[in-house]
């Protein structure tokens, strides 16, 4: 039981490049989330998926897209990376008691 | 919409001393409340949560929190801290149709020898 896994762990991009962050959970949870963490700002919600086949914008969706590929996987795509997207990205899934389980994070630097 | 305010960005405390990390929230609907801990270069781990019932909630590692509806607070306490408690602590509220979390900005707890 791996919980929530994320790939890659680290990534450096140049401005304008694209990439996809992968997330998978093996706990059979319906809801999944993408957050970004910046110093002094806590975690901010980018997108979420309440169930397979649905996605919704969170607090800071601009510059991102998501895909809920199936119940296990929820990916986050940066189409044209900007320095402002330098951050640590966390994926999470939620159980029926409302607890969210977090992955180890992806550290992204955009130069 | 809901919001969370963590009143202290940094809290230094000596080992074996008590500590309180403060959290206030605002919401127009009923909320669930959480405290998470983040150790360096790791993801977040749940310390405790309040969904309903007793307003005093006990969590892992000897932490507890009290839900105060009239003061819209959910302060985290530990009677005696250890060096290993050094970490960043986040208060969060859960609301909305998908119960998405809104986080505070975090409190860095540093336990000094």
Provide φ and ψ at B62, rounded to 5°. Answer: 80, 5
In the three-class reduction of DSSP (H, G, I as helix; E, B as strand; rest coil), residue B84 is classed as helix
Please give chain B's pLDDT, 113 residues, in tens: 789 999 999 999 999 999 999 999 988 777 899 999 999 888 899 999 999 888 899 999 999 999 998 999 999 999 999 999 999 999 999 876 667 889 999 999 999 99
Contact of A54 with B98, CB cutoff 8 Å: no
pLDDT at A14 over 90: yes
Residue A92: how many CA atoms within 13 Å on its side-chain side? 29
Tokens standing for residue B9: 């960005």
Q: CB neighbours of B49 closer than 8 A, spacing ≥ 6?
A: A97, A98, A99, B32, B33, B34, B35, B57, B59
Cβ–Cβ under 8 Å, residues A91 and A23 = yes
Work out the minimum CA distance from A28 to partner chain B, whole angstroms.
16
The confidence score (pLDDT) of residue B98 equals 65
Q: CB atoms < 10 A from the CB of B82, how many?
A: 12
- Alpha-carbon distance of A91 to A101, in angstroms, equals 8
Identify whether the C-beta of residue A104 lies closer than 8 Å to the C-beta of residue A7: no
Tokens representing B79 are 């009677």
CB-based contact (8 Å) between A90 and chain B? yes
Could you give the CA distance from residue A54 to residue B69 in angstroms, rounded to a whole number?
Answer: 33
Interface of B with A (CB under 8 A): 4, 6, 9, 32, 34, 36, 42-46, 49, 51, 90, 94, 97-106
The answer to whether A104 contacts B45, with C-beta atoms less than 8 Å apart, is no
Instruction: Determine the pLDDT at residue B30.
Output: 78
| pLDDT at res. B80 | 97
**What pLDDT does B95 receive?**
77
A10 touches chain B (CB under 8 A): no
């Amino acid at each position: 039981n791996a919980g929530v896994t994320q790939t890659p762990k680290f990534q450096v991009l140049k401005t304008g490049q694209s990439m996809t962050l992968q997330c998978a959970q093996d706990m059979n949870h319906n809801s999944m989330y993408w957050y970004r963490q910046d110093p002094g700002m806590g975690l901010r919600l980018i997108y979420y998926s309440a169930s397979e086949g649905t996605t919704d914008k969170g607090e800071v969706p601009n510059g991102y897209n998501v895909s809920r590929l199936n119940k296990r996987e929820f990916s986050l795509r940066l189409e044209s990376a900007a320095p402002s997207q330098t951050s640590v990205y966390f994926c999470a899934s939620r159980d029926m008691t409302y607890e969210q389980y977090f992955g180890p994070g992806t550290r992204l630097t955009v130069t | 919409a809901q919001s969370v305010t963590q009143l202290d960005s940094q809290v230094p405390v000596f080992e074996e001393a008590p500590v309180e990390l403060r959290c206030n929230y605002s919401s127009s609907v009923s909320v669930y409340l959480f405290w998470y801990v983040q150790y360096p270069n790791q993801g977040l781990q749940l310390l405790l949560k309040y969904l309903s019932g007793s307003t005093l909630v006990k969590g892992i590692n000897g932490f507890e929190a009290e839900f105060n509806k009239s003061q819209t607070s959910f302060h985290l306490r530990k009677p005696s801290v250890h060096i290993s408690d050094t970490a960043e602590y986040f208060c969060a509220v859960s609301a909305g149709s998908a119960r998405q979390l809104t986080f505070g900005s975090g409190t860095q707890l540093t336990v000094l020898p």
